[in-house]
Amino acid sequence: MRQTVATPVALRREGARGEDKIFARLRVEAEEAIARERDLAGFFYEAVLSLGSLEQVVARRIALRLAGAGASQPAVIAAFEDCFGAEAELGEALRADISAVLDRDPACRRYLEPALYFKGFHAIQTHRLAHALWRRGRSDFALLLQSFSSQVFQTDIHPGARIGKGFFLDHATGVVIGATAVVEDDVSMLHGVTLGGSGKGPGERHPKVRRGVLIGAGALILGNVEIGARALVAAGSVVLENVPAHKTVAGVPARVVNEVGAAEPATAMDQVHDIIDAGL
* Domains in the chain: boundaries: 1-154, 174-280
pLDDT digits (tens, 9 = 90+) for 262-280: 999 999 999 877 776 766 6
d(CA 276, CA 280): 6
pLDDT at residue 13 is higher than 90:
no
Over range 183-202, report the average pLDDT.
95
pLDDT digits (tens, 9 = 90+) for 213-222: 999 999 999 9
So what's the pLDDT on residue 12? 47
Peptide bond into 74 cis (omega under 30): no
Sheet containing strand 155-157, edge to edge, reads 155-157, 175-177, 194-196, 220-222, 238-239
User: What one-letter code names the amino acid at 148?
Assistant: F
3-state helix, strand, coil in the chain (%, to 5): 45, 15, 40
Lowest-pLDDT range of 9-18, 35-44, 234-243: 9-18
N residues, the chain: 280
- 1-154 and 174-280 share one CATH topology? no
Is the pTM above the cut of 0.85? yes
pLDDT at 15: 45
How many Å apart are CA 131 and CA 161, to the nearest integer? 7
Q: List, in order, residues 6 or more apart from 117 with CB less than 8 Å away.
A: none
Return the CATH fold of 1-154: serine acetyltransferase, domain 1 (1.10.3130)
Task: Indicate if the pLDDT at residue 17 is higher than 90.
Answer: no
Tell me what pLDDT residue 276 has.
Answer: 67
Do residues 149 and 167 touch, judged by C-beta distance below 8 A? no
Classified by CATH at the fold level, domain 174-280 comes out as UDP N-Acetylglucosamine Acyltransferase; domain 1 (2.160.10)
Q: Which residue in 15, 207, 191, 160 sits closest to 96, CA to CA?
A: 15
